[in-house]
Structure 1
Amino acid sequence: MADRNLTRPDELSQGLSFYRSPEGELFCEDIPLRDLARRFGTPLYVYSRAGIAERLEAYEKAFGEEPHQVCYAVKAASTRGILELVARQGAGFDCVSGGEILRALEAGGDPKKVVFSGVGKSVADIAFALRAGIKCFNIESPAELDRIHAVTERLGIEAHVSVRVNPNIDAHVDAHVATGLGDSKFGVKLTEVIPLYEKAAKLPMIRIEGISCHIGSQVESAEPYLRMVTVLAGFVNELARRGIVLHHIDLGGGAGVAYHPDEKPLEPSELIPALIKAVRREVSVPDIEIFVEPGRSVIAQAAVLLTTVQYLKSGLFERQFAIVDASMTELVRPAIYGSYHLIEPVVPHPKAQRQILNIVGPVCESTDFLGNDRNLAIEAGDLLAIRTAGAYGMAMASTYNSRPLPMEVLVDGSRVIPLRRPQTALDLTRDEETLGLVKNPGMSEEAVRSLFAQSLGMSIE
């Protein structure tokens, strides 16, 4: 990597993922972000390989010699190249659909390091997971156990299972991302846990592996996790007394990250030693293996979403807007969760007038905003970076309003690696079937597609 002795470290990335030059320009590793925008256009997701690797290494280092398995939560960011990086570093995968298992295995993941959660596992999902030989199913209801057992008997393949417990613990997170409260759809309620294990132990094609739990996302301290350990330890110990010895305890993910420079992330170096100490103190099974399922805390701060200002616009009541080419179709979290992402110019614009702006996209929805009331000095044509965008960004992107999915690239030092081929609206209509009802169309399909293709990439600068 380039010498960064004269650069200012960036507050929202670990290690050397993102930084600013002495002139204030934002870089990803050795590459100026504006160079990437010129080459690939915007909206554009940019990931730092060093940032991803550093986060995974932080979890491994925190565990030390303790028996453990880190299973990356695929739902956070599931592009194949990212999953290849995860697999390359020896991590496993936490999957919540057959499609996510497919992605993980196509990326080179070890099926023996795959855990399968999710409340609605289909017969096809279960059959694929069994045939692939995954580590275990995290069972989320008694009915699911019945379905898994039926599929095992049909295929003649044993299923390795854990029970996902709903601990009824308030992790003090936003209601949209709380998964451990009693009224959540996730996990098995406390009164059903022991009976479900006892039932599973009697089924000929079921092999009991462990116990699992996930209390939510953006958890700010270790305290809710420690309460979760106490709940799970009670079950592990009681099951052992009944002759059912578990091999691992899966404590889920959800460690908080910084979306604002003033926020403090829950670092693996703080969380993992506390969990290890609690498990060894409270669980009677010696050296039980500890699983964790980080997603956001691996990928969020390792990426930005680049977007270009299209127009500045005044509204009523002194409301000012910056209309950009990214939208809720690229980053939906602000629209559905009210989530905050720091938005800043890639290159400072000292001559631009500073004003309070709502950063909004072109999608035909009033909720299409990326950030409100931001104090920025920008003009039309300026490039903005939306920070901490790696988790639940591209993974939740859509083609609403017939907008193509954004491009993604990975920066590895001075190398830039495209993670997908560019998509246009032409790709969105290619697989659709025509009814043939319009006998005399105003323009032929070929002519329309040709005109659209000619217009791509046009500039008036």
Structure 2
Amino acid sequence: MDYFTYQNGTMYCEDTSLEQIASEIGTPFYVYSAKSFTDSFNTFSNAFEGRERIICFAVKSCPNIGILSLLASLGAGADIVSGGELDRALKAGINPQKIVFAGVGKTRQEIHEALEAGILMFNAESEQELDVLNDEARKLGKRAKIAIRVNPNVDPKTHPYISTGLKKNKFGISVETVREQFRYAAGLDSLDVEGVHCHIGSQLTDVSPFADAAKIMVSLIKDLRADGINIKYLDMGGGLGITYKDETVPKHEDYAKAILDAVGDLDITLIFEPGRNLSGNAGVLVTRVLYTKDSGTKHFKVVDAAMNDLARPSLYDAYHGIKPVYETENRITCDVVGPICETGDFLARDRDIADVPVDGLYAVLSAGAYGMSMASNYNSRPRAAEVLVSGGKYYIIRRRETYADLTGPESVPAFLRNR
């Protein structure tokens, strides 16, 4: 279902005009549909009806605490990869017993904080990490529940930068050697080995790699139980994609069937970590045209959003649809570029799009995942505002940054003062 539609020639998010928001808070801004998040989460979870499951939203995809609070109200947990994401999840009201902590480089401080918070489980990625987890748990007089992340060497058939389940990737422990690591972890005095974890990549548009990985995990769980290690959780990670352009993405029901067919009647609690699949098409980036240029060989639309606001086109050469906020039949082939002093600062290149005039508005689609979360202050640009729409009302869930925000953490050293 499309939550960004035209009403009388103007684009709306649910029942709220994007032009109205732009006129009241300025541009650029991210705007998210609460109904999109709600419907996507419920559809995902309901696809596994009848099975014990925990749906842990991948915080890295869209970390605003307003969004996380909405998901918490729906019963979501959180997949985190840093202490900062833990703090966000807790502030948003997510139950610590629905939080899983992944990532190859957890610090002792982050582990300490997560143990104190009482999270469900750490997804460990190396033998050295197992030792640190055990040491920190012992110091606190606690037990750390862990899963070990398995690298199943399954090709996710996605962009190489977001492929994580092949031997050449940095994530997890090889499926050929991981059983030994499980035995090692089970012998440590302050760890409870309760899960297996895998995550093979992002933006997958085929369920077969998920099914292949699930079969490998099920076989491993049976072997581990035979070793006397009582595995309670199978964490299949995330990775199910969205439609950016013309991709055909499996329905949640098809994804669930592929996983459940592989799991069979295994007595296990399933954990999933969807991020982009819930957030990607729930948000757009609204930007205003500042100038138009014609170089003789190229046309350019210079807009007030840039690569610091949405990095994916520059970073991955990723496609994001671009539509006018006001419908028009006029078309142009052009580059949509931002104000940053980099040739790589573009939102689209050689794109046939609506010909929006100066001061007109574009909506950059499918920007809810890895948009604001990857934004920076490059060129000392304040980051955009974020807005959550529910029906006919909108709520500012992150104000636009000011210049004072940019320099607030900085200081001039004493020897340079009063010169």
Same fold (TM over 0.5): yes
Query: Cα deviation per residue 1:331-360 (whole Å; 9 max; x = unaligned)?
Result: 00000111000011110234x5x3211000
1:27-426 matches, within 5 Å, as: 27-260=12-245, 262-280=246-264, 286-316=266-296, 318-350=297-329, 354-376=331-353, 377-426=355-404
Matched letter for residue 255 of structure 2? L
Once the two structures are TM-superposed, the CA of residue 59 in structure 1 deviates from its matched residue by 1.1
The Cα shift of 1:185 comes to 0.5
**What is the match of residue 457 of structure 1?**
none
Alpha-carbon contact 1:346-1:383 (below 8 Å) kept: yes
CA contact (8 A) 2:218 2:262 kept: no
Aligned CA-pair RMSD:
1.3
Name the count of aligned residue pairs: 417
- Equivalent AA in structure 1 for residue 305 of structure 2: A
Deviation readout 1:345-397 (Å, 9 max, x if unpaired): 110234x5x32110000011111000111223221111000000000000000
For 1:195-226, what per-residue CA distance to the aligned partner results, in whole angstroms no more than 9, with x for missing partners? 11111111121101110100001101110001
> Per-residue displacement from partner, 1:110-151 (whole Å, max 9, x unpaired)?
000000000000000100111111000001011100111111
Alignment TM-score, normalising by the size of structure 2? 0.97
Q: Distance in 2 between matches of 1:128 and 1:207?
A: 18
Q: Distance in 1 between matches of 2:99 and 2:201?
A: 20
Letter in 2 for 1:263: E
Q: Which letter maps to 1:340?
A: Y
Aligned-residue offset at 1:415: 1.3
Query: 2: distance between equivalents of 1:373 and 1:117?
Result: 39
Query: How far apart, in 1, do the equivalents of 2:231 and 2:264 lie?
Result: 14
Residue 273 of structure 1 and its aligned partner are, at CA, apart by 2.1
1:417-456 to 2 correspondence within 5 Å?
Answer: 417-435=395-413, 437=416, 439=418
Q: What CA distance in whole angstroms lies between the structure 2 residues aligned with 1:361 and 1:179?
A: 31
TM-score by length of 1: 0.88
Alpha carbons 2:205, 2:247 under 8 Å: kept: no
**C-alpha distance in structure 2 between counterparts of 1:190 and 1:306, whole Å:** 44
In structure 2, C-alpha distance between the alignment counterparts of 1:421 and 1:293, rounded to whole Å: 28
Structure number with bigger Rg: 1
Distance of 1:53 and 1:314 partners within structure 2? 43
Q: Does the 8 Å contact 1:219/1:266 carry over to 2?
A: no
Counterparts of 1:200 and 1:422 in 2: how far apart (Å)?
Answer: 46
- Structure 1 distance, partners of 2:31, 2:365, is 10
Secondary structure at the aligned position of 1:171 is classed as coil
1:33 CA drift (Å)? 0.8
**1: distance between equivalents of 2:253 and 2:348?**
31
Q: Which residue identity does 1:344 align to in structure 2?
A: K
Q: Which amino acid aligns with 1:386?
A: V
Letter in 2 for 1:304: V
Counterpart residue number, 2:4: 18
Residue 67 of structure 1 contacts residue 287 of structure 1 at CA under 8 Å; is this kept in 2? no
> Do the aligned partners of 1:301 and 1:390 also contact (CA within 8 Å) in 2?
yes
Offset, 1:78? 0.2
State the identity %. 41
Shift of 1:435: 2.8
Residue 314 of structure 1 and its aligned partner are, at CA, apart by 1.4
* CA contact 1:250–1:291 (8 Å) conserved in 2: yes
SS of residue matched to 1:419 = strand
Structure 2 unaligned blocks of 5 or more: none
AA at the equivalent of 2:340: V
Q: Which digits, 9 at most, give the CA deviation of each residue in 1:295-342, with x for residues without a partner?
A: 0000110110000011110125x1111000000111000001110000
Q: Secondary structure at the match of 1:418?
A: strand
Query: Secondary structure at 1:66's aligned position in 2?
Result: coil
Gap regions ≥5 residues in structure 1 = 1-13, 441-461
What amino acid is aligned across from residue 374 of structure 1 in structure 2? R
Q: Which amino acid aligns with 2:83?
A: G
Offset from partner CA, 1:256-275 (integer Å, 9 cap, x none): 10011x32223212101221
The structural deviation recorded for 1:438 is 6.2
